Chain A
Amino acid sequence: MYNSIVLIILVLPFLASLTIPFISHGQRDRSTGVMITTATLGLILTLSLFPAINDGAILRQAFTWAPAFGLEFVLRLDGLSWLFLLLICGIGVLVAIYASYYMPREYPLVRFFAFLLVFMGSMLGLVLSGNVIQLVFFWELTSLLSFLLIGFWYQGESARDAARTALTVTAAGGLALLAGVMMLGHIVGSYDLDAILAAGRQIQDHPLYLPALLCVLTGVFTKSAQFPFHFWLPQAMSAPTPVSAYLHSATLVKAGVFLLLRFWPVLAGSSAWFWLVGGIGMLSLLVGGWGAYTQRDLKALLAYSTISHLGLITMLAGLGSRLGAVAAIFHIVNHATFKASLFMAAGAVDHETGTRDLDRLSGLRHVMPVTATLAIISSAAMAGVPMLNGFLSKEMFFAVTLNSNRSLITDVAGVFLAIIAAGLSVAYSVRLVGDTFFGPVHTDYPRKPQEPSGWMRFPIGLLALICFAVGMFPALVIGDILHAAVTAVLGDQLPVYDLQLWHGWNTPLLMSILAFALGCGLYLWSHWRIWRRGYQKAPIEWISAKQIFERLLLFVTNTLPAWQGRIFPSRRLQTQLLIIMLVAMGLALGSAVGLHLPRAWHTPIDPIFAFMWVLGGICAIGAASQAKFHRMMALALTGGVGLIICISFIWLSAPDLAMTQLLVETVTTVLILLGLRWLPPRIRTTRKATRRARYRRRRDIVIALLVGTGMAVLAYTVMQHPVSNSVSQFYLEQALPSAGGHNVVNVILVDFRALDTLGEISVLVIVALSVLALLRRFRPAPESIGMTSQQQYFQQVQKTRLARAGKVPDYLAIPSLIIMLMTPMFVLFGIHLFLRGHDLPGGGFAAGITLTMALIVLYMARGARWVEARLRIDPVRWIAAGLLIAIATGLSAFLSGRPFLTSYNDQLYLPLLGRIPINSALFFDLGIFAVVIGASSLILVVLAHQTLRRPAKRAQSAPSREGK
């Protein structure tokens, strides 16, 4: 029972996110409802699971994933992952409530919540992974969703930059992590988490331990924004505040430290671990603390303080002591509660005043007293004030540094650094509260501030209450949960830790007092400095990892290619193609050495076939010679070649190919015709070609002749060796019995090799969308914008007396009438082709292109405006529907426990029609059909639409960014 609950928790957010696209943009509340319901359900289910893992038990279930590689999809729940489930779902609920009040009214929340749900799902998948490869998969998924959410307001350049930086850093870290876990898997001989966790000694003694550790730590440090990869996190503050509260304080950045603790039993304990993890953690703790103290932006302050607190957690895990691990886990929870609450409070301040600048904000406690009180409680927790949760984990931290017993120098340094770090934490907490809520009341805000709505304060308040409850009654509130999580990491050998508010007068308390004095002193000192010398730029720019990163990026994407361009012989396409041709020729000649023609294997020559290809040859050479000055003629001649190929296919027993060739040929010709108009006119001049040009042409003719001869010889040789014994035999034998189709070609495409076809239609989709994107900003040149001569003539005719008397018909009246009458026939024929595809020549491709032709002919006859006023075609939806149908058909095979895209037959009984064989391949073909219609009509329609555009405005200096 528990196992199925775990599965439900994981699947729920993904399913919920699938329902969201069906909610229209206006219905804000409904998408909010889906989000809140999902997160709440997840939370309830999570809570119900606690008894199952309370006593150190592990829930585990495995599904076959890729048996050939020995991979299983394993869901594994122990105390640590349960704790994370609680954080993800619990804070998820609060963030959802908060977001629905925070996000501006005019923004549709549909996309936002869809992303947030998928993020939630992938985060859950990450912590539930019982297989390390699967873990990396979800890890990268969270990076991707973080990219989408940081860039949610993609209109802003800073958001786009931040999203790109975050993705580059975290996804690169994910790749390093993949390498790391593969090394671990190699050492242990299994990718199963339990197997790896059981092999601690074996891993640490292995020579690959250090490289594996380095790779895993790179992943951890990038994700948890540890120095020197910390720079993406402050940038990521361009995300909407709910995202910052959820991803960048409570969950996503915690994934890194989660992994650190997950692998703690096997990787920790070595001195490499101590110095790397402990050192980086300490550095991040200090860098983050100082960074936070010197920020002017409220959210940036919180971001740096997050870096600092994550550094603390990392360091605690890095010390390698058992108490350190306990403190790390405890602080993960505490930090998540107070930081999420602070982010939301900062968002509320931003929402109400319109600014996050600490220098402009002041005295808000008079204006929004409730928010101020809650924020003060959370900040106090962050600073480590007694009676709040931050105090307890800080005391534990001090106790750990006091008991590290490594060597005298590190011990003493550790204690002092700990006091400094805690002092910084106090300083920026005081600054946050002091600058925002205290001081004189300001009124010069972009908006007139007031107390935010009750539902927006609710999550902040609840989290602040948790801070207080944990701080007052730690053993009661969090004792069991912490115990379960700690047991999951440390096993039975738990260290002695004492969860209570008052430990008596001891050294940690003394250190706390010192830290408070230090923090308050720092705050007062800098205020005194500002009062004396005025505001100065903070000396934070001493190391700008961000700048180094940007330089590096610039080097890789700009300097390096430029250098490559210099060492390559030429940047001209012609030269490059020439080199490719020559190399290909050389290789072909080289491989042809020693080849001899065996016995002649002939089918008799048919003179008509020969004559047809004489025409074909003339067409090809004609097209080649006319393509420069007579484009239309060259196009027609190319079409001629295509038709002859089509006839050849029929001749050589390939009706399917002939049909596809004919249809594609037609569509391609229309396509190029549509494009022809926008190319500059090229008129043959009498000017004699230069000597250089003549030389080039002669050289190219020689190369073309050589390549042509080579291809002919090659083709002839190949045809002398017809492949016997190929896999076709299998297809021919199995098509009818196992796939139930008579048309073997179609069966291969939609059944035997359906995965290839899925790839192919994806290529089509990518091309269609690229075409859309490329033409969005296209502006026709002014000289090709005018009407064609035929249209001009028609316009003149319309001005005559006859026209005024109503005697002149519409433009292209008779053809358009015929075409309109033909359109249903086209559609019918397309459906006919589709339905018979499995048994007779036809199928999804042919049918899709037929329908596209119906459409494009209609466009040609009546013009874009007429068609679109009457017919709502949404090619992008067709594409999406098609892809979804194809993938869903493939996935449906899982229902019967078979691999992706396995097809199956069934019988369907319908009244009147009787028994109808149903093959899942038919649905796959339906997907192909829809994708082909969508993609090809999208390409054609977008191109046809260019006639409706205004010409490029050359005079304007800034290019217009608007699309259609």
Chain B
Amino acid sequence: MELILSLAIGILGGSGVWLLLRPRTFQVIIGLTLISYAINLFIFSIGGLRTGADPILEKGLTDISHYADPLPQALVLTAIVIGFATTALFLVVALASRGQADNDHVDGEDGPA
């Protein structure tokens, strides 16, 4: 599992970085989305991967090794919501820039692509 997930993080991160370096705003937005996926998975994996662990506390079951690590989950949950907010902001900035510059280049000027 670790191997698969780290490869996944690598692929997502690589694709994201490629898009980040492109000249069009939409590409950059998608690139950032992919990178934030990669980072979320990465943060999530810090606590160690557990399959079949119990995420919800049960009465009487006090052995904490039985449960999944809640901390990375709380971190990632926050990250997902903030990611939504930043995507929205980037999108709107991109639209505003397109409205002002009349093109969708990241620098607002249609030079050589």
Contacts and interface: CB of A to CB of B under 8 A. Distances in A.
Interface in A162-218: none
B104 A715 contact: no
Contact of B78 (A692, A712, A760): A760
Contact of A652 (B44, B85, B94): B44
B74 A603 contact: no
Contact of A705 (B14, B80, B93, B103): B14
Given A606-B1, A620-B15, A753 B37 contact: no
A701 interface: yes
Interface in A677-716: 678-680, 682, 690, 692-693, 700-701, 703-705, 707-716
B70 A748 contact: yes
Contacts of A749: 74, 77-78
Interface string B34-53: 10011011101111111111
Given A581-B17, A654-B44, A732-B70, A621 B6 contact: no
Contact of B4 (A613, A679, A682, A711): A613
Nearest to B78: A760
B107 A572 contact: yes
Interface stretch (A526-534, A663-671, A886-894): A663-671
Contact of B99 (A672, A939, A952): A952
A693 B112 contact: yes
Interface in A228-247: none
B21 A703 contact: yes
Contacts of B34: 620, 623-624, 638, 641
A733 B45 contact: no
Nearest to B89: A767
A775 B100 CA distance: 12
Interface residues of B, number: 91
Interface string B5-28: 111111111111111111111111
Interface string B90-102: 0111111011001
Contacts of B103: 680
B80 A657 contact: yes
B68 A654 contact: yes
Interface stretch (A64-72, A778-786, A800-808): A778-786
Interface string B73-92: 11011101111111111011
Contacts of A648: 5, 8, 41
A574 interface: yes
B2 A601 contact: yes
A654 B67 CA distance: 10
B95 A605 contact: no
Contact of A722 (B24, B25, B47, B88): B47
Given A654-B73, A704-B17, A745-B70, A627 B10 contact: no
Contact of A708 (B11, B22, B45, B50): B11
B86 to A, nearest CB: 7
Contact of B27 (A571, A627, A657, A727): A627
Contacts of B58: 742
A760 B82 contact: yes
A771 B6 contact: no
A12 interface: no
A190 to B, nearest CB: 39
Interface string A875-900: 00000000000000000000000000
B42 to A, nearest CB: 5
Nearest to A935: B85
Contacts of B19: 623-624, 627
A247 B31 CA distance: 52
A660 interface: yes
A743 interface: yes
Interface stretch (A401-409, A493-501, A838-846): A838-846
A720 B23 CA distance: 37
Contact of A711 (B13, B68, B107): B13
B30 A638 contact: yes
Given A679-B26, A749-B77, A781-B98, A649 B44 contact: yes
Contacts of B93: 774
Nearest to A717: B6
A826 B48 CA distance: 35
A439 interface: no
A309 to B, nearest CB: 49
Given A617-B7, A711-B42, A668 B84 contact: yes
Contacts of A577: 20-21
Given A648-B5, A668-B84, A707-B13, A742 B99 contact: no
B112 to A, nearest CB: 6
B106 A781 contact: no
A936 B89 CA distance: 11
B85 to A, nearest CB: 4
A916 interface: no
Contacts of B1: 602-606, 609, 652
Contacts of A564: none
Given A704-B14, A744-B70, A652 B51 contact: yes
Given A602-B1, A609-B1, A732-B67, A653 B51 contact: yes
Nearest to B45: A719
Nearest to A741: B57
B21 A574 contact: yes
A291 interface: no
A790 to B, nearest CB: 22
A728 B41 contact: no
B21 A581 contact: yes
Contacts of B28: 573
A284 B78 CA distance: 54
Given A617-B8, A656-B77, A781-B102, A651 B33 contact: no
Contacts of B56: 742-744, 839-841
Contacts of A723: 46-48, 69
Closest CB pairs A-B (n = 7): A708-B14, A712-B10, A722-B48, A704-B18, A624-B15, A744-B70, A716-B6
Interface of B: 1-31, 33-34, 37-38, 40-42, 44-59, 62, 64, 67-71, 73-74, 76-78, 80-89, 91-96, 98-99, 102-104, 106-107, 112-113
29 contacts: A573-B106, A603-B1, A620-B34, A624-B18, A627-B22, A627-B24, A652-B1, A652-B44, A652-B51, A653-B53, A654-B76, A655-B55, A668-B88, A679-B95, A704-B18, A708-B14, A711-B13, A711-B38, A723-B69, A726-B47, A733-B62, A733-B64, A768-B85, A770-B92, A774-B95, A775-B95, A841-B55, A939-B88, A952-B99
Given A624-B34, A712-B10, A728-B70, 20 more contacts: A578-B21, A603-B49, A616-B11, A620-B16, A623-B30, A628-B26, A638-B33, A638-B34, A645-B37, A654-B55, A654-B73, A657-B80, A680-B104, A704-B15, A715-B42, A719-B49, A731-B70, A744-B55, A780-B99, A781-B98
